[in-house]
Every structure is written in C-alpha cells, then in structure tokens.
Structure 1
Amino acid sequence: MDSWVRFNSQSQAKERIIRAAQYACTLLGYTLQKGGAGAELCKTVSQLEAHMSLTRKLLRLGNSVEALEAAKRAIHLSDGVLRLCLTVSHLNRAMYFACDNVLWAGKTGLISKLDQQKWSQRSFRYYLFALILNLTRDVYELRLLMESEARYRATKAPPSPYPSTTSPTDHLSPQASPAAMAVPIVSVRLRRQLHLLVMVLYNNPPLLLDLLKNSCDIFIPLDRLGIYPTGSGFVGACGLVSSVLSIVTMVHPWLKLKP
C-alpha cells in the first residue's frame, strides 16, 4: 500500500501540468470562439482538450487508494472540526476518483454501453461536496487564526495612561438616532476585522493559497452540474489558476496547507 502511494505521488506533478494545459485549452477555445476563429481551429483545440482530459483520467487511476489513506490519517486528528472535514472530504475524493476511473474505462471502450453523462454528474457531485468541506476547513482555520491574532494584539497593546475621551460617535449630536450612531461603530469594527483578515492571510501563505485554489475549483463542478453556470471561459480561467497554484505547492512543499 505504501509503495503504491509513493509511486502514485510521483505522477501527481504530471497530472497537475496536464490539468493546467487542459484548462488553458478550455480558455483558449472560448477566446477563439468569441473572436470568430475558424471552426476547424476550434475543433482542433476542443479535441486537444478532450485528449488531455483522458490522459489525466489515466494518471488518476488508483488515486482512490491515496485518498483513503489520507482519510485514515485524518481520522486521528485531535481537532474535531478538522477531523470531520478532512476525513469526509478525503472519502468524497475517493468516490470522485472511483467514478472518474469508471468514466475512463467507458471512454476507452473497456466498459461498453456506459452512461457517461450519469457517471460524470455523479463524480462532479462527490467533487463538489469535497470542495465544500475543504472550504469549510479553510474558513475554520482562518477564524481560529484571526481569534488568536486578536488575543495576541490585545495582550501586547500597551495600556493608555490617559482615559479615553473620544469615541466614534462623539461627533454626532445628542439628537442623532440610534441607527445613525451605530453606523460609525460598525464601520470601525468592519475595518478592524478586514485589516485583521488581511494580516492573517499575509502571514499564512499556505492557508491563502489553499483558500484561493478551492475557491477557484468550486466553480468547476457548480458549472458542470448546472447549479451555477458560468461558461467555459470562466471555468477555464478558474481551472488554470487553481492548477498553477497546485503546481506552486508541489514545487515549494512548505506552501502546502497541513494537515
């Protein structure tokens, strides 16, 4: 099992590169079509995209095993939220890869009379649920880091030797309505939270990259399932960006979010 996981991990970089090329073709095909390019050229790009998709499915054969191994590791995490999100996410990825393997067998003719549309929709549903759980994990870790940073700032902030004499509502007249008095307070809090959010993401590149990657990826199954159609151009751009981010985390492993 371990030897297979090690062998499988070596093909992930190739799969990511081909994925980037596939979505680049999707974006290129959309651009050519909008630009009024010839039908033959658009057909060639579309066929190239299809070949790359089939090659990716070949490289993903056996990825279900790796996803199951990741689920076995995640189930021992001490944090309950992370344990739930990561374990269920890896299990959904395992099912997604299994459906993808069936699709590959159908496209290559190993399984005749396969309802490819049905299996494609099924695989994208598993993929979507896995991405939702990954984003939930990202938001949860972001909230924990923001709370930790806020507590750190509160303890490090030097106490003022003078009593505070001004507040965001001091410039308002006594006759101002409660709603008008609440607006400056809410604005100040929002600015503080936004500044805290930016600082936390800036100081945690792995979380930022993972959040961006999952945010881009989620539009792909949403479009394929018809839940939120965005068009092939937007899907191609999102897939290309997320693929590049994945390649970056492979080139620089310290940028990969752990666990």
Structure 2
Amino acid sequence: NLLRCPLQNDSTCRERVCPQSYACTLLGYSLQKYGASPDFIARIKQLEAHMSLGRKLFRLGNSSDALEAAKRAIHLSDMVLRFCITVSHLNRAMYFACDNILWAGKSGLAPHMDQEKWSQRSFRYYLFALIMNLSRDAYEIRLLMEHEANGKCQRGGGGDSPRVGEDHRLQQLILRLKLQVRLLCHVLRDNPPLLLDLAKNACDIFIPMDKLGLYKTNPGFVGLCGLTSSVISILTIVFPWLKLKP
C-alpha cells in the first residue's frame, strides 16, 4: 500500500500522504462545472470538509518537528542554505501552530474562535515558508548551473558558441538565453530531487496565494495543485533518494 507511511510515528508524513481532501476539491469543482446535481455537490463538499479536518488533526505535533528541523538547519555551513531552510522551518512551525488552533475551532473545542483570522494567519506563514523553499531551490539551481558551466569551459566546451558581431546584440542575447535554458534543463534532468522539490513548492504556493487573495484562481486549480504536491510527497516517501537534502 503506497499510502502506508514507513514512518508511522511521523505526523508530517501521515498528513502529506492524505491527498483525499484536494481530490475532493478537484472532483467537486469538475462535477459542478459539468452540471451535477446540487445535492451531490453538497455531499462532496461535506466530505471535503471532513477530510480537511482530518488532515489538520494529523498536523498536531508538527510544530515541534519543524522547530527541531530548524535547530538542525542552523548548523549548516552554507550561509544561504542555513538562512532559507531555518526560516522556512520556523514559518512552518508557526503555520502548524495556527492550523492546530484552527482545528480546535472547527472541531468545536473553541467555538468562539475567529476562524477566518487564524486561517489568514496560517496561510501567511505557509506562504512565507514556501517563498523560502523556492529561494533555496533557486540558489541550488544557480550553484549547479555555475558548476556545470565551469566544467564545460574546462573541457573546452565554451568555444562552441558562434561569435556574434557588435551590431547583433539582440541575437547574442537570444543565444545566451537559449544556452541558459538548455543548461537549466540539463541541471534539473540530472537532479531529480531538486526538480521534484521545485515542482512541489511551485504547486503548493498557489494554495496560500489563492486563499489570501493575492492570486485568485478557482477551486479546481487549487485542488489540482494540492493533489500534485501530495503525489510528489508520496514519491519522496516511497523513494527516499528523491527527497532533497539537507
């Protein structure tokens, strides 16, 4: 069973391999778009709400896990990685804490809690954590591209580019852009963990942006992004070598 997490005591793991909530979001949007009955759509939305509440329950205790991860990341030798990963984990800790409070409100333990306020707070922390994750991905991509470019120069590969005259600067710029895109594709193809992490963070970031009103899409797109991110998380759990380290 691929949905059975090998780390049974890891609440983060259990939460990430439960994509049913996003699947329900995507299904509900698709059914509504193609004219399903309002009663059936209401049942799908109710199921989605239950799944979402269950996902929040799995997140209980994730704040302490994120804080421990931040403590480990603060000892990294690379200053940029140390900053990005530590700040990301600290924001994740705050996001999970807000989400736990939100769970208490939705489950009836704190009925008078302002759920909208805590929801906005949690998504702001989530968004900033994802920005740090994408910054880390961009930094690692830049390092790998520089390393690959330097290696090609040392092997004599830098002389393959045609020389362009001074009056053809636009063509020269286009050529350089094509070379950079080709180099980027080569680096991502040769580094599946980095590619998957980039794809996962790129999918995830649309969720808080939509919820905070920074970039409004639709429930179907949000559900697709969340489902894709969850599938990538499952892959990194089933095949640990696909997880980006540190």
Q: Structure 1 residues 237, 63: closer, same or farther in 2, change over 3 A?
A: same
Check if 1:253 corresponds to 2:240: yes
Other-structure match for 1:223: 210
Q: Which residue identity is paired with 1:184?
A: Q
The CA distance in 2 between the partners of 1:28 and 1:168, in whole Å, is: 53
Question: Any idea what SS the aligned residue of 2:17 has?
Answer: helix
Other-structure match for 1:206: 193
> 1:167: Cα distance to partner?
2.5
Other-structure match for 1:47: 46
> 1:191: Cα distance to partner?
1.1
What is the TM-score of this pair, normalised by structure 1? 0.88
The CA distance in 2 between the partners of 1:158 and 1:91, in whole Å, is: 43
Q: After superposition, where does 1:58-137 map in structure 2 within 5 Å?
A: 58-137=57-136
> 1:158: Cα distance to partner?
6.5
Q: Equivalent of 2:163, from 163, 167, 180?
A: 167
The CA distance in 2 between the partners of 1:41 and 1:62, in whole Å, is: 35
Tell whether the 8 Å contact from 1:8 to 1:62 is kept in structure 2 after alignment. Answer: no
The CA distance in 1 between the partners of 2:105 and 2:39, in whole Å, is: 27
> 1:188: Cα distance to partner?
1.1
Q: Structure 1 residues 46, 155: closer, same or farther in 2, change over 3 A?
A: same
> 1:7: Cα distance to partner?
6.0
The CA distance in 1 between the partners of 2:80 and 2:53, in whole Å, is: 36
Q: Which residue identity is paired with 1:22?
A: S
Other-structure match for 1:35: 34
Output one character per residue of 1:208-248: Cα deviation in whole Å (capped at 9) or x when no partner. 00000000000000000011101111101111111100110
Q: Structure 1 residues 206, 81: closer, same or farther in 2, change over 3 A?
A: same
Q: RMSD value over aligned CA atoms?
A: 1.7
Q: Runs in 1 of length 4+ with deviation above 4 angstroms?
A: none
The CA distance in 2 between the partners of 1:155 and 1:213, in whole Å, is: 34
> 1:14: Cα distance to partner?
3.2
> 1:112: Cα distance to partner?
2.6
The CA distance in 1 between the partners of 2:48 and 2:158, in whole Å, is: 62
> 1:148: Cα distance to partner?
0.5
Output one character per residue of 1:90-126: Cα deviation in whole Å (capped at 9) or x when no partner. 0000000000100111111111300000000000000
Other-structure match for 2:220: 233
Larger radius of gyration: 1
Question: Any idea what SS the aligned residue of 1:193 has?
Answer: helix
Q: Which residue identity is paired with 2:164?
A: P
Which stretches in structure 2 are left out of the alignment for 5+ residues? 1-6
Question: Any idea what SS the aligned residue of 1:200 has?
Answer: helix
The CA distance in 2 between the partners of 1:139 and 1:159, in whole Å, is: 24
